[in-house]
């Protein structure tokens, strides 16, 4: 592609300029910039764009056609600069924004969009006393009641406000229920501990006690739930990153309550060490779990997910793992979480349980 055509396409189509499996970043300026993003798991040195014409710089990546990527440009001082050819921005969760793009066969799930004539569940906000089990005296919990009168299993969601706001989880569930793709489920979306999030989510018995002794009673009081004493393991836990770690930990430690686990980009092995979930997963399952895990192909966390899958399966748990072409962010988790919900609560799963 000649440079005149490349810049024209950047201005009209936006950047990166995409041709099949090739994505080309384009920058017009006196000095070059570098790019970093999901494609390198935001680690290592930023990749410098190369001069292709006076004042025009470019760099091409080869990516699978179903890839979602977030990225940022940096100047020579390491400061972020906006890409003037890409107006698409998304919060990165750390007070800044990333640019993003989809390759030709990727796109946001329509399940996260409100659909006409789809009954809506009700979301309510509650403050729960922590009683020294978590940081602070109280913790916000958002409850979602599905549009049904039948008793439902509960899904406890770690980093709940983020899944509510950034992943539109309640909208996804409304649409999945309306389309008959999952049975009605209720949600308890629990806020994290802010600066104490790592401590609370790194396989904490106090966090598990908070779920069992504070969140679960609240949910039973406010929602129409199935009785886990009559249906052991009926409820589920969902989380991403360290939230995915504490989700699996909660299931392994309390399988009689949380028999279903949905872990996204689970941080099972970080800081050059495996968490205790590996040891727990090696024990023969007294009550087998249903475990769905997914992770972005570009994430370093994928290695721990790949390793723990056979450990869970060999111990008697029913576990599934999916790797998608994306990175470590809420849009990627939003666009894949429906698969785990269908696997755990879809018609096939219900038929399997009744069989």
Residue 97 and residue 127 in one domain? no
Give bridge partners of residue 318 from the DSSP assignment.
290
Residue 185 and residue 77 in one domain? no
d(CA 49, CA 24): 10
Report yes or no on 5 lying in a domain.
no
How would DSSP label each residue in 16-66? SEEETTEEEEEEESSS--EEEEGGGTT-SPPEEPEEEETTEEEEEEE--TT
pLDDT for res 355? 39
Which domain covers residue 276, as residue numbers? 110-354
pLDDT for res 352? 53
Enumerate residue ranges in the chain where pLDDT < 50.
Answer: 353-355
- 3-state SS, residue 355: coil
Report yes or no on 183 lying in a domain.
yes
Report yes or no on 66 lying in a domain.
yes
Residue 283 and residue 212 in one domain? yes
User: In this structure, what DSSP letter does residue 110 have?
Assistant: G
Residue 87 and residue 214 in one domain? no
| Boundary (domain end) residue, out of 71, 102, 133 | 102
pLDDT for res 348? 65
Mind listing the pLDDT tens digit for each residue in 209-227? 999 999 999 999 999 999 9
Tokens of 183: 């049975």
Report yes or no on 4 lying in a domain.
no
Element (DSSP H or E) covering residue 342: helix 330-345
pLDDT for res 2? 86
Residue 160 and residue 71 in one domain? no
Tokens of 195: 């600066």
| Boundary (domain end) residue, out of 77, 102, 127 | 102
d(CA 330, CA 99): 14
- 3-state SS, residue 126: strand
Report yes or no on 233 lying in a domain.
yes
Q: How many domains does the chain have?
A: 2
Residue 85 and residue 144 in one domain? no
Please report, for residues 209, 252, 260, 346, 352, the alpha-carbon distance to residue 256 in angstroms, rounded to integers and kept in the order given: 14, 9, 10, 21, 19
Residue 82 and residue 224 in one domain? no
Residue 275 and residue 254 in one domain? yes
Residue 90 and residue 126 in one domain? no
pLDDT for res 99? 98
Report yes or no on 119 lying in a domain.
yes
Residue 167 and residue 295 in one domain? yes
pLDDT for res 89? 97
Report yes or no on 3 lying in a domain.
no
Element (DSSP H or E) covering residue 350: helix 347-354
CB atoms within 10 A of CB 162: 20
Please report, for residues 262, 346, 347, 355, the alpha-carbon distance to residue 352 in angstroms, rounded to integers and kept in the order given: 18, 10, 8, 5
Report the DSSP pairing between strands 154-157 and 186-190.
parallel
Report yes or no on 88 lying in a domain.
yes
d(CA 249, CA 251): 5
| Boundary (domain end) residue, out of 53, 86, 102 | 102
Residue 89 and residue 165 in one domain? no
């Amino acid at each position: 592609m000649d440079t005149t055509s490349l810049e024209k396409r950047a201005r009209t189509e936006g950047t990166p300029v995409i041709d099949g499996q090739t994505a080309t970043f384009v920058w017009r300026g006196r000095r070059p910039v570098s790019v970093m993003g999901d494609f390198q798991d935001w680690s290592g040195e930023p990749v410098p764009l190369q001069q292709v014409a006076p004042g025009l710089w470019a760099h091409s990546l080869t990516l699978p056609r179903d890839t979602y990527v977030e990225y940022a440009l940096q100047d020579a001082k390491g400061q972020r600069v906006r890409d003037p050819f890409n107006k698409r921005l998304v919060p990165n969760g750390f007070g800044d924004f990333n640019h993003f793009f989809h390759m030709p066969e990727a796109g946001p799930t329509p399940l996260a969009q409100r659909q006409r004539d789809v009954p809506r569940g009700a979301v309510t906000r509650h403050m729960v006393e922590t009683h020294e089990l978590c940081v602070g005296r109280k913790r916000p919990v958002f409850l979602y009641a599905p549009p049904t009168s039948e008793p439902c299993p509960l899904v406890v969601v770690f980093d709940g406000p983020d899944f509510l706001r950034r992943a539109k989880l309640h909208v996804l569930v409304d649409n999945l229920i309306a389309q008959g793709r999952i049975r009605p489920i209720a949600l308890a979306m629990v806020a994290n501990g802010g600066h104490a999030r790592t401590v609370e989510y790194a396989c904490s018995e106090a966090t598990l006690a908070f779920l069992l002794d504070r969140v679960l009673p609240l949910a039973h009081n406010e929602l129409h739930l199935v009785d886990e004493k009559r249906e052991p393991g009926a409820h589920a836990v969902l989380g991403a990153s360290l939230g995915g770690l504490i989700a699996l930990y909660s299931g392994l430690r309390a399988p009689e309550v949380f028999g279903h686990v949905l872990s996204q980009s689970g941080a099972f092995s970080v800081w050059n060490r495996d968490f205790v979930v590996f040891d727990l997963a090696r024990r023969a399952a007294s009550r087998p779990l249903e475990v769905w895990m997914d992770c972005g192909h570009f994430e370093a966390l994928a290695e721990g997910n790949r390793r723990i899958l056979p450990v869970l399966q060999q111990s008697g748990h029913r576990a599934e793992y999916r790797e998608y072409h994306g990175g470590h962010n809420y849009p990627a988790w939003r666009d894949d979480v429906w698969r785990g919900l269908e696997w755990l609560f879809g018609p096939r799963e219900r038929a399997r349980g009744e069989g």
